[in-house]
């Protein structure tokens, strides 16, 4: 009969030891370091006070961030505190020139005319469509080739149609080609090519044109308008290549690359010639010059605008993100900003050569066989390279 009693005794002893330990830990809590049992008061506010930036674009972005701050959705509008500087803004979608910028940017009068034009109309995101192709994606293309072009660049568009941009079936996939244009404004000294342009539109049915001034700084609005068009007219496109009209694209190689993607990879695909650790040029003589009065900070990772490839699913997300990003005068940087807003970054692919290849390889057909894009190329060179790659006798082993 000693066995059961001994077990009970052991259990009672263990219970008493446990209670003793708990009591001692409670009594000694806070001992040793005199600061541990004091109330800790944060030295800084958790929410930083809103303050305007000295740079105009940064300030506009702060305003958009405030508007889209979900933490404010649950506050009563009568008690929501709007920063004083926020009220400097006007309607975010106005297409009237915003002359307030002339006093909000300290060196406005000394900026190049292209800057003044961009800043005056920076908030406008709605331009009428002049030429549309509402049914061009009726066959749900596997690959949509969206090419930025200008009205006078007829030879480039025709070379693309005759080479890498041939629409129809390619490598057993449906390919659609589309050219994106604005207006050739008389103030930019373009010749009157309206009759030839109208004929081209009627013959090929592959041009979209919006009624905005087609300048380098307005390539960003072309990007936004295209993304809007894509979500309404071509939302079923699996993939989109977007690039300039002076590049050569190995369309067959792109289709091969896309066809071998995993499902997970394909969903948020965005690849190109990625530029990192970059920032604005401060030299006025450089095409990409951005003054400190307009933008302060580094650039996010972005794919060079010569050409990049992304999925149709991601295109919708980029368009929605663009509504929360102030327009920036360099379109490929702007797209990088939209990706960063989504918590994403473009992926670098060695097949995209937006800064060309070595001189000694430029007339070597096999040099283009494994690449997806080379920039720049003349219309004649595009046709020549395409003929090389489609020659049955080509052997690149």
245 and 73 Cβ atoms separated by less than 8 Å = no
Q: In the 8-state DSSP scheme, what is residue 267?
A: H
Structure tokens at 158: 């025709």
Residues 295, 142: Cα–Cα separation, whole Å: 38
Structure tokens at 138: 């009726």
**Sites in the chain below the pLDDT cut of 70:** 1-50, 70, 72-93
Angle, CA 252 vertex, CA 261 and CA 200 arms, to 5°: 120
Residues 240, 316: Cα–Cα separation, whole Å: 12
pLDDT on residue 40: 59
- The DSSP element (H or E) to which 170 belongs, if any, is strand 168-170
pLDDT on residue 22: 47
pLDDT on residue 221: 97
pLDDT on residue 45: 57
pLDDT on residue 102: 95
pLDDT on residue 32: 47
Residues 1, 5: Cα–Cα separation, whole Å: 7
> pTM for the full model?
0.85
CATH number of 129-389: 3.90.550.50
Q: In the 8-state DSSP scheme, what is residue 281?
A: B
Count of alpha carbons within 13 angstroms of residue 123, beta-carbon side: 19
Residues 140-149 have pLDDT tens digits of 999 999 999 9
Structure tokens at 96: 């009237």
pLDDT on residue 53: 86
pLDDT on residue 8: 45
Residues with Cβ within 8 Å of 268's Cβ and at least 6 positions away in sequence, in order, are 311, 313, 314, 317, 344
Ramachandran sector of residue 102 (left: φ over 0; alpha: ψ -120 to 50; beta: rest): alpha
Q: Is 131 helix (H, G, I), strand (E, B) or coil?
A: strand
> CB 129: neighbour CB atoms within 10 A?
15
List the chain domain ranges: 56-120, 129-389
b/e per residue 156-189 (b: at least 16 CB within 10 A)? bbbbbeebbbebeebeebbbbbbbbbbbbeeeee
Q: In what order do the strands lie in the sheet with 373-374?
A: 248-249, 373-374, 352-353
The residue behind tokens 């709605």 is: 126
Structure tokens at 74: 């649950």
Estimate to the nearest angstrom the gap between the alpha carbon of 81 and the chain centroid.
32
């Amino acid at each position: 009969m000693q066995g059961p009693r001994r077990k009970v005794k052991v259990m009672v002893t263990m219970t008493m030891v446990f209670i003793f330990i708990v009591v001692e830990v409670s009594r000694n809590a806070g001992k040793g370091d005199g600061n541990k049992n004091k109330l800790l008061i944060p030295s800084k506010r958790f929410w930083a006070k809103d303050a305007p930036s000295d740079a105009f674009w940064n300030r506009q972005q702060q305003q958009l961030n405030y508007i889209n701050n979900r933490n404010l959705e649950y506050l009563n509008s009568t008690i929501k505190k709007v920063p004083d500087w926020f009220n400097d803004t006007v309607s975010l979608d106005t297409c009237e020139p915003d002359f307030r910028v002339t006093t909000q940017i300290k060196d406005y009068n000394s900026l190049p005319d292209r800057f003044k034009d961009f800043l005056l109309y920076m908030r406008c995101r709605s331009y009428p469509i002049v030429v549309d192709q509402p049914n061009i994606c009726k066959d749900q293309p596997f690959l949509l080739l969206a090419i930025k072009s200008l009205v006078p660049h007829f030879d480039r568009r025709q070379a693309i149609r005759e080479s890498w941009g041939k629409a129809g079936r390619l490598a057993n996939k449906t390919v659609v080609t589309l050219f994106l244009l604005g207006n050739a404004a008389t103030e930019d000294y373009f010749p009157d090519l309206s009759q030839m342009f109208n004929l081209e539109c009627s013959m090929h049915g592959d041009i979209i044109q919006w009624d905005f001034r087609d300048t380098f700084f307005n390539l960003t609005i072309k990007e936004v308008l295209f993304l809007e068009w894509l979500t309404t007219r071509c939302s079923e496109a699996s993939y989109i290549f977007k690039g300039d009209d002076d590049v050569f694209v190995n369309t067959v190689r792109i289709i091969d690359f896309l066809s071998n993607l995993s499902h997970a990879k394909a969903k948020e695909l965005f690849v190109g010639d990625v530029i990192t650790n970059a920032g604005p040029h401060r030299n006025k003589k450089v095409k990409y010059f951005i003054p400190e009065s307009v933008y302060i900070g580094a650039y996010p990772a972005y794919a060079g605008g010569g050409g990049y490839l992304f999925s149709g699913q991601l295109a919708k997300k980029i368009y929605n993100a663009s509504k929360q990003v102030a327009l920036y005068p360099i379109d490929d940087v702007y797209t990088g900003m939209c990706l960063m807003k989504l918590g994403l970054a473009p992926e670098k692919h060695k097949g995209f050569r937006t800064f060309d290849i070595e001189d000694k390889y430029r007339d070597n057909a096999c040099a283009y066989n494994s690449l997806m894009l080379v920039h720049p190329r003349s219309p004649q060179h595009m046709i020549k390279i395409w003929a090389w790659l489609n020659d049955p006798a080509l052997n690149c082993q």
